[in-house]
Structure 1
Amino acid sequence: MKKVLSIAITLTLTISLILTGCGKKESGNETDQAGGKEKVKLSLWHNFTGDDQRAKTMRSIIEQFQKDHTNIELDIQAIPPDGYRTRLKTVAAANEMPDLFVMWPGVMTKEFQAGKLIQPINELLESKPEWRDGFLPGSFDAFTIENNIYSAPIALSPTSILYYNQSILDENGLQVPKTWDELLNAVKVLKEKGITPIALGNKAAWVAQSSILSSLADRVTGTDWFLKAAAQDGAKFTDPEFVQALQYLQDLGNEGAFQEGFNAIDNTQMEQMFAQGKAAMMIDGGWALTNFAANASEEAMAQMGATVLPSIPGGKGDPNTLSGVVGTGLGLGKGATGAKKEAAFELMYAMAGPDAQKSVLESNQLVSYKVELDKSKVTSIFAKVYELVNTVKTTPVYDGVMTSAGAEAVNNGLQELLMGGKPEDIAKKIQDAQAKSLGK
């Protein structure tokens, strides 16, 4: 009997231990056998889907993180750039934010913070002061609200670089245009030769706004006017100087600066068109550099140069400027708490920490971090843009300052403008949208 009783007690204890183990697993306290860490599921949304070097670099960083952190299970949604913002705004409206997601500075950060959809990362930055202090001055400004920082930028994005093909200009007796009249003359000469003067891919609507108007309008109105108009405090988008800026852009289109069907191709197709020598110039952002590195030939890049948009006669803005913003960073959804928040911080650091910043720079993407550039690891055109960016000031990008509704009105308005719409009517639509969204 004693032997039977002993066996029964042993079996009972064994079953109890098994059930206890199962109970722990069901309650979410499963531990990683390799490292003894708690298993965590983390959702990540990103737009690093392309074949450009930066996208490949970011995907490789994520893949390495998964290998190094077997206790963290990533649920990844990789969404193409053109549809990314729309998808993110849709889940934001439904209050179903992912744990970590690519987020823009400025308006998007403000709107998500106002909706209580994100949480600050001060705790992470304070735990890694050397990393925090390695960012360039002002890097956190557009991610900061009331002393709380909501992301760390993974890139630096000048948006209005005038790229040019030196050989095409030389063959047609043209200099790199420094004034508006010189630009119009170049357009005329190239058009007469059957050459597309400026490649444009405005299918997604933001290109004309971010890459052309943000700098062109600043040349005309000056930065102070724009900031007042965006705040609806002492200036309006129906003011004569803004209407004049719209007229300058329309004049450029009317002169035949852009190829036919420019509203039917996207910015990647535009960049390919320029890289293939099918256009003499292109007005685009720093993000084009990583596409060039992946898809353009060495011979094509050797012919590329980069400068600022030409000056405007009588303009109030500084002509030696580029519109630009710090690049996107990772936003932290409000639902990431406890072990999930700790895991999210680990991934955020892996994707925006010093090693990642160096890798991103060497993928031909500008960064807002103190990294010494090894020119042997980047393309010739990237080195030229790197030097340019370090010699000019930065002015605001329209969709980085205006409300979402106001920026959308600008985007749609510019498509209409370049198809023949009246500048005064478009200015009124922009003014009405911005005023309404601010309740003014």
Structure 2
Amino acid sequence: MSTAVVLLTRDLRLDDNPALAAACAAADRVVPLYVLDPTLAGLSPNRTRFLHQSLADLRDRLRKLGGDLVVREGDPVAETIRTARDTGATTITLAADVSGYARRRERRLAHECDRHRIALERHAGLTVVEPGTLRPGGGKDCYQVFTPYYRSWSAARWRPVVAAPDRLTLPDGVTPGDLPALPAGESPHACEGGETAARRRLTAWLTHDIEGYDDAHNDLPGDVTSRLSPYLRWGCLSPLSLAETARSRDAEAFVRQLCWRDFYYQVARVHPRLSTEALRPAADRDWRYDTDALEHWQDGLTGVPIVDAGMRQLRDEGWMHNRARLITAAFLTKHLGIDWRSGVAWFFRWLLDGDVPNNSGNWQWTAGTGNDTRPYRRFNPIRQALRFDPEGVYVRRYVPELKGIAGAAVHQPWRLPEPERRGLDYPEPLESHRDEAVWLRD
């Protein structure tokens, strides 16, 4: 009887999992394997908790099919080869990834597979269109500008969605291994991980919010965004299935957001040091290194309510509304003049959806060092607040010190009469930005 090992990394689902489907189609017995990699441990308590919830859910779903999730801890290459040899597997399948670490892992695994005469198959699954499939003219390796990529991406033929397996058999004698104890996350209101939770969230969004997404996805208090990004980051949802569903509902604005995700994956494939090296070195200017200002920004105590609301949502939920991400990132880089890499690191610690392509790509876009045709653009936080949170509902949700201020006045508490300002337990804007002209000059 033939045996295959499926090395799961960021494809923690049954539905439309090409690596899993290929193994089930070709082998009589299949070993779904996840290796807890010490190198990646401790980067984010929030993501660690989400990952472990996702693994527990995946194990439950696999057991209902007659199989199990095999869990090991250690070097992922060594543990995968060991599992293949112990089970007599002749094939290992996995989803191809783009980060520098993932690609080094794949190269090492390919070398060991050659050495042990085991076939290695790389499959799609992390994006709608595989990174590297679409290339601009002129011999360039990736698109540098989104709009041409979007046109090419929209016209491309997408691969077929593959069905979840209906049965799965483990080899005899395989010990599944214990799941680690569920760790504590840092964000008290972080969403739950796993394919089951992802599909529950997707169903709710499709029922109530998808129709109004185009008009309202930037509305901060309304919060009609899908909140599916953590599930996409860990592969609890298939981005292709999601794109097909959104396209069938004429939600092209949402499909475009999935294209942005693919865009940064194809950039990261060519620029794996996206988190540390500017794509536009000339724009990587002399940044300020102001520890006090950085800490105020991290703690949501800048004195600019819309910025502080976003930063506090990040800590509370391990997630932040996309419009708030733009506002807070622009404030750090364009108003405080602090290095975008400090922002990348802070977001990466807290975000459930934090990954190299999207977190780092979006930070570079905002800082003007990345894929932006207008690298010197600025986001005026007050104008952004008045446009996307006109009555201050979002600010008051996350900055309770300002709950007593009605309407749009909450966005500029420094303009309140002196007696009212003295009664607020809320900081003045950072020293270098108290001049109101800072907010109005853009």
Q: Same fold (TM over 0.5)?
A: no
Give the TM-score normalised by structure 1: 0.25
Structure that is richer in strand per residue: 1
Give the TM-score normalised by structure 2: 0.24
